[in-house]
């Protein structure tokens, strides 16, 4: 296949070397039993688990730099997972690492609030323009659950409505009870969470009719694979205002990836509360709940209403994570990060789409989502979603030196990386075509990967 000249802006990253295809996974295979003996599921994050990768081709990693990672066998991969979308600048991005190191030498966790906490909070509020106050935590689940608690206290209501088309809001019972992995969650808790459909105002209106005066808040991501339809976000805003319901935008992924102020800054609709995480620390553990003062202050000391135990975590204001966040914000001010993400993803799409067409896979393999958060869908011969063909695609891209659970780009992905990736995908799609023609079992060397949300293993 042929590539075209890139219009990507230059960064401080070096040119990409030629990628050597992985030769073996024996050292990773040897660690498999030890991982599963010490860690339930063999991973601290289900989306990184062995069941998400082909058998005998699930590399255990030892380091990362830029857009590349290396495993225990010495294999190098160009990565497109980027820490589940948390790394926008690249692994071990030097200015962020240096800022975290400097902060750690002054103590990571002191016995009273530090001036670093105030500086980071003020800078975050000015940088994002997403709220009047902010509270930091360590992950998106914590801040989403805190937003729910705040909304319930503010409205005096128990029910929460979540978008059924968005896969994850929290590890806590109020959300996991809506998934097939609901063992251990009381039925009474499950019954407090309602669901509506994305881009379907009618489904939201129906919830309000069925549960008048009972819904504390609505949760959704602003955009995933599909953009918000004209008037959808504005309609949600109007419905929530009319029914006294708190509107919460989950910007855990979109924040610092769509825009430094989140997708709300792109679409111009403001919620009552927003949650940020992931990219704001470039992989460091940091999250934020922000929103209107009248809600946020319920977790403070300067009001006479019933007090909300909002967020109080031992590690919520660790110095190195806050310093990393400030370095991320500084980088975004100085470098065209968002523009690069969009252009890199667009370049990858432009190179891969001709391969899809050349192999006649238009009904079987699709690129989804906006360029800064590109995903792919695998479908079988009947055009139905297929885990087997996802496994085959992962098998063939791993074999060619790509770690490709998604197509998430970073500021470190350069034209040479993307061109090399497109060449490897082109060859992988050739095998995909053969699987469609001769049966997937003729080319698949592994058991199928599995969805995270399933009732049994």
Q: Which CATH architecture has domain 26-92+336-442?
A: Alpha-Beta Complex (3.90)
Q: Work out the end-to-end distance of the chain between its first and last CA atoms, rounded to an integer number of angstroms.
A: 40
SS3 (DSSP) at 455: coil
Please tell me what DSSP assigns to residue 409.
-
* Torsion angle defined by CA atoms of residues 32, 38, 44 and 47, in that order, rounded to the nearest 10 degrees: 30
SS3 (DSSP) at 292: coil
pTM of the model: 0.93
Q: Buried b / exposed e across 39-61, counting CB within 10 Å, b at 16+?
A: eeebbeeeebbbbbbbbebbbbb
Token duo for residue 446: 């592994």
CATH number of the domain located at residue range(s) 109-317 in this protein: 3.40.640.10
- Ramachandran category for residue 170: left, alpha or beta (phi over 0 → left; psi -120 to 50 → alpha): beta
* Residue in 187, 145, 197 with CA at minimum distance from that of residue 166: 197
CA distances from 212 to 219, 247, 412 (A): 17, 16, 49
Q: Which residue has the tokens 């503010």?
A: 154
Please tell me what DSSP assigns to residue 192.
T
Would you kindly state where each structural domain of the chain is located, as residue ranges? 26-92+336-442, 109-317
pLDDT tens track, the chain, 457 positions: 434 334 444 344 444 445 567 778 999 999 999 999 999 999 998 889 899 999 999 999 999 999 999 999 999 999 999 999 999 999 999 999 999 999 999 999 999 999 999 999 999 999 999 999 999 999 999 999 999 999 999 999 999 999 999 999 999 999 999 999 999 999 999 999 999 999 999 999 999 999 999 999 999 999 999 999 999 999 999 999 999 999 999 999 999 999 999 999 999 999 999 999 999 999 999 999 999 999 999 998 888 888 888 888 899 999 999 999 999 999 999 999 999 999 999 999 999 999 999 999 999 999 999 999 999 999 999 999 999 999 999 999 999 999 999 999 999 999 999 999 999 999 999 999 999 999 999 999 999 999 888 888 8
Radius of gyration of the chain (CA): 23
CA atoms within 13 A on the CB side of 333: 11
Cα–Cα distance, 99 to 326 (Å, whole number): 8
């Amino acid at each position: 296949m042929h590539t075209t000249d890139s219009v990507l802006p230059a960064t401080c990253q070096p040119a990409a070397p030629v990628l050597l295809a992985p030769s073996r996974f024996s050292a990773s295979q040897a660690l498999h039993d030890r991982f599963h003996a010490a860690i339930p599921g063999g991973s601290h994050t289900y989306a990184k688990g062995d069941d998400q990768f082909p058998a005998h081709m699930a590399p255990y990693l030892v380091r990362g730099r830029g857009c590349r990672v290396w495993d225990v066998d010495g294999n190098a991969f160009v990565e497109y997972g980027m820490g589940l979308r948390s790394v926008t600048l690249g692994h071990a991005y030097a200015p962020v690492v240096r800022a975290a190191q400097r902060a750690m030498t002054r103590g990571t966790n002191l016995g009273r609030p530090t001036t670093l906490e105030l500086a980071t909070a003020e800078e975050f509020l000015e940088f994002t323009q997403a709220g009047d106050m902010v509270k930091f935590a360590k992950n998106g689940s914590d801040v989403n659950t805190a937003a729910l608690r705040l909304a319930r206290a503010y409205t005096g209501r128990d029910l929460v409505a979540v978008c059924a088309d968005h896969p994850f809001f929290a590890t806590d019972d109020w959300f996991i009870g809506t998934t097939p992995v609901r063992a251990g969650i009381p039925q009474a808790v499950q019954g407090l969470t309602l669901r509506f459909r994305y881009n379907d105002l009618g489904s939201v209106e129906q919830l309000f009719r069925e549960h008048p005066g009972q819904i504390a808040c609505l949760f959704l991501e602003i955009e995933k694979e599909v953009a918000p339809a004209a008037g959808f976000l504005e309609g949600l805003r109007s419905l929530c205002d009319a029914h006294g319901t708190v509107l919460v935008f989950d910007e855990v992924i979109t924040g610092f990836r769509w825009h430094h102020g989140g997708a709300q800054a792109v679409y111009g609709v403001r919620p009552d509360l927003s949650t940020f995480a992931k990219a704001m620390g470039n992989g460091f553990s940091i999250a934020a709940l922000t929103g209107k003062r009248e809600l946020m202050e319920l977790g403070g000391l300067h009001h006479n209403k019933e007090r909300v135990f909002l967020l109080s975590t031992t590690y919520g204001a660790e110095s190195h994570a806050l310093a990393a966040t400030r370095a991320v914000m500084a980088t975004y001010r100085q470098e065209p990060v968002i523009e690069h993400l969009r252009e890199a993803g667009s370049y990858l799409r432009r190179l891969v789409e001709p391969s899809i067409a050349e192999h006649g896979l238009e009904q079987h393999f699709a690129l989804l989502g906006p360029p800064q958060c590109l995903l792919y869908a695998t479908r079988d011969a009947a055009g139905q979603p297929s885990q087997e063909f996802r496994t085959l695609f992962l098998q063939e891209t791993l074999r060619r030196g790509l770690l490709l659970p998604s197509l998430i780009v970073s500021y470190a992905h350069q034209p040479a990386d993307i061109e090399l990736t497109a060449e490897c995908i082109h060859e992988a799609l050739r095998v995909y075509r053969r699987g469609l023609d001769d049966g997937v079992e003729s080319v698949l060397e592994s058991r199928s990967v599995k969805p995270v949300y399933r009732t049994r293993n």
